[in-house]
Amino acid sequence: MPAKSSKTPRRATHSLEQILSTAIEILDREGSKGLTLRRLAGELGGGLGSIYWYVDGKDEMLSLACDALVGRALVAAETHTSDGPALETDDPVIVEAIGDLRRTAMALFDQTQIHPWLAPQLHAQGAATPNSLRYWERLGRPLARIGLTPTQQFNGSTALSGYVTGVAAEMSAQDLHADPHRPKAERLDEIVSQWLASDPDEFSWLHSMADEFRRHDDDEQFAAGLDLLLGGLVRQALARSTDRD
């Protein structure tokens, strides 16, 4: 413990975890455009350049932040439980595998709801980070277990991960540019009233969805589409197993 007090200003001390967690805090609070290296340095109480000792640049920092959150999703996927949809089968292998997929997908979706910048950011950066690969692996294994062909496994896994981040990004986008202090119901109302101002002939279907949109719950909406995909995968599995019989 150096107890030597002096007039020279204290030098700040950082760590990669500390940098990433306050970066995530800023992103959650101010959005993607609100994260600035200067602001981050200020919040860390240090100098601008020191960040570059831990990280190669802003892009790598964002990539690491995403990877950390995908990591949290992986942890949550192992602990969470979920009641899945009614399946066409009670084959325990299939029921367990589909439940696993559902938990995995839901866990990442949850993270994108907590961190609205996450889904678009995951798409903006293509690099396959370690936890993204683990996530993909976690989507693939159950598909192999239920007996799909390699092509079906491959297509199914990318369909699932594309669906998760796609719908998540779609939902985040509505919150992204909105004032976070206004209650959610008010924001939905405002969006709906914009629809209703559009041509009721050209947008007749959209108009018919106004109530639906006001009532909707993001989690249920996400789960509903997910179950369409999972149901399709179950059918592929069942078609295969009757082939073999």
Partner DNA sequence: ACCTGAACACCGTTCAAGT
Q: Minimal CA–CA distance to 99: which of 78, 125, 113?
A: 78
48 binds, among DNA, a second copy, none (CB under 5 to 8 A by kind): DNA
> Considering CB under 8 A, how many residues would be counted as binding a second copy?
68
* By CB under 7 A, residue 52 contacts DNA: yes
Q: Which of 1, 3, 8, 204 binds DNA (CB under 7 A)?
A: 8
Smallest gap from Cβ 175 to a second copy, in A, equals: 8
Number of C-alpha atoms within 13 angstroms, CB side, residue 27? 24
Interface with a second copy, residue 42, by CB under 8 A: no
Among 1, 49, 126, 179, the residue binding DNA under the rule CB under 7 A is 49
Residue with tokens 């909406």: 221
Kindly compute the dihedral angle of the four CA atoms of residues 77, 68, 225, 211, in this order, to the nearest 10 degrees: 120
Verify binding: residue 50, DNA, rule CB under 7 A: yes
Would you count residue 48 as binding DNA (CB under 7 A)?
yes
148 binds a second copy (CB under 8 A): no
Q: For residue 224, which amino acid is it?
A: A
Assess 207 for contact with DNA (CB under 7 A).
no
Residue 176: other Cβ atoms inside 10 A: 16
How many Å apart are CA 85 and CA 210, to the nearest integer? 27
Are the C-beta atoms of 172 and 112 separated by less than 8 Å? yes
Q: What does the per-residue mask of binding to DNA show for 103-142, with x meaning CB under 7 A? A: ----------------------------------------
Site residues, DNA (CB under 7 A): 8-9, 11-14, 35-39, 41, 46-50, 52-54, 57-59
